[in-house]
Amino acid sequence: MTARALILGCSGTRLLPEEDAFFRDVRPWGFILFKRNIGTPEEVRALTDALRDTVGRADAPILIDQEGGRVQRMGPPHWPKYPAGSRFGRLNGSGTAMARLGARLIAHDLRAVGITVDCAPILDVPVEGSDAIIGDRAYGSHPDVVAAIGRAVAEGLMEGGVLPVIKHMPGHGRAACDSHHALPVVEASRDSLEASDFRPFVALADMPLAMSAHIVFTALDPERPATQSPTVIREIVRGRIGFDGLLMTDDLSMNALRGSFRERAEASFAAGVDAVLHCNGAMDEMRAVAEAAPLLSGDALRRAAAALARLRPDPEGFDLAEARARFEEGLAAAA
C-alpha cells in the first residue's frame, strides 16, 4: 500500500473516530506528536500503535520535536528534562561526547513509546540581532561547532533506533522574526550564506531526513520562502548542499506562509519537497492539505524508503541507568 506524501498531527492523547477514519482514507506517510498528545508512557504507546494501525504499516514513521530545553514535548514527571543545545556548545572538549550521549538517552525514551523520528538536530547558526526563536536551541554561533555537535546528536539518535531530521534547511539562524508568526526575510549575500548558514547542512548532507525553512532569502529567491522556492530546493538544497534524503516542509500551519492550506501544499510540492508537514491536528486544514498531496512516487518514494531502511531494530544491551548517571555526572562536572 503506497503512502501519501503527508505527515500529520492529531488532536489529543487518543484518536477520535473522525481522525481514525480520515487517516485510513488518506494514508499519510507519517505522523507527528506534540505536548497535547503526550500522557503517560502507556498512553503514548497506545497512541503510536493506533496511528500505525490506521495506515496498516508497522514502520510508519512517528515524529516528535525532542531537542531539549524549550523544545521538548515529553518531559517530567515521566521523562527527564534535557538541556538546551547551547549547553553542549559551551562544554568545549566534552561537548560532542555529551551531546551524543544525551541524544542516545532521548532515543531510548522515544523508541520505548513507539516514536521513531526526532526533529533534531537543529543546524541553524544564529547571528547577532536574530530572533530568539532559535536562541539557545543552537549548538553555537560557529558553523563548524554546530556541524560537529549536530553530527553527534544525529549519530546518538540513530544508535538508539531513532532517525534524525536536520533542520531548518538551508538555515534559520539569521531570521529577524519567528516564522510561526510572520515571514522572515534574510538579505544576506550568497557569499555570507555559503560561508556560514549552509556549512552545517553540507557537513550533514548524508542524513536521511531534513526540514525546510519558511524564510525568504533575497539573494536566492526574493519572492518565495525556501519551502516554496524551486530555486532554493533544487539549486541549493539538492545542488549546493547536496542533500538527497527526504525533505519535508516545516509546519504548513505557520503564519509565515500565505494562501489556503491547499495552495500552501501545492506550492511546496511544486518547489520540489518530498512531503508536507501539518501539525496542529485541525481536521479542516488537514483535509485541504491532503487534497493537494500526491502518493509518494519516484525520487520521493526512493528517499522515503531509504530513510526507513536506516532505522535500526530495538537496540539491545543498553545500560540505561549507567548512561543516565554518566550524562548527569558529565553535565555537573562541566558546570
Distance CA 12, CA 15 (A): 7
Average pLDDT over residues 75-98: 94
Distance CA 29, CA 304 (A): 9
Q: Which of 250, 244, 259 is nearest to 302 (CA)?
A: 244
The predicted structure's pLDDT at residue 193? 97
The predicted structure's pLDDT at residue 85? 95
Average pLDDT over residues 273-287: 97
The residue annotated as part of the active site, out of 124, 131, 250, 274, is 250
Cβ count within 10 A of residue 223 = 9
Distances, alpha carbon 229 to alpha carbons 37, 41, 105, 204, 322, in Å: 32, 40, 36, 22, 47
Annotated catalytic, 250?
yes
The residue annotated as part of the active site, out of 180, 181, 299, 314, is 180
CA-CA-CA-CA torsion sign (28, 162, 307, 238): positive
Annotated catalytic, 136?
no
The predicted structure's pLDDT at residue 120? 98
The predicted structure's pLDDT at residue 110? 98
Q: Is the pLDDT of residue 313 over 90?
A: no
The predicted structure's pLDDT at residue 1? 59
For residue 300 the three cell numbers come to 520521493
Distances, alpha carbon 280 to alpha carbons 8, 88, 297, in Å: 8, 30, 26
Confirm whether pTM is higher than 0.85: yes
- Percent of the chain exceeding pLDDT 90 equals 90
For residue 206 the three cell numbers come to 548524508
Average pLDDT over residues 269-294: 98
Beta strands at 117-118 and 185-186: parallel, antiparallel or unpaired: unpaired
Choose the weakest-confidence range: 87-96, 200-209, 248-257: 87-96
What pLDDT band is residue 128 in, cutting at 50, 70 and 90? confident
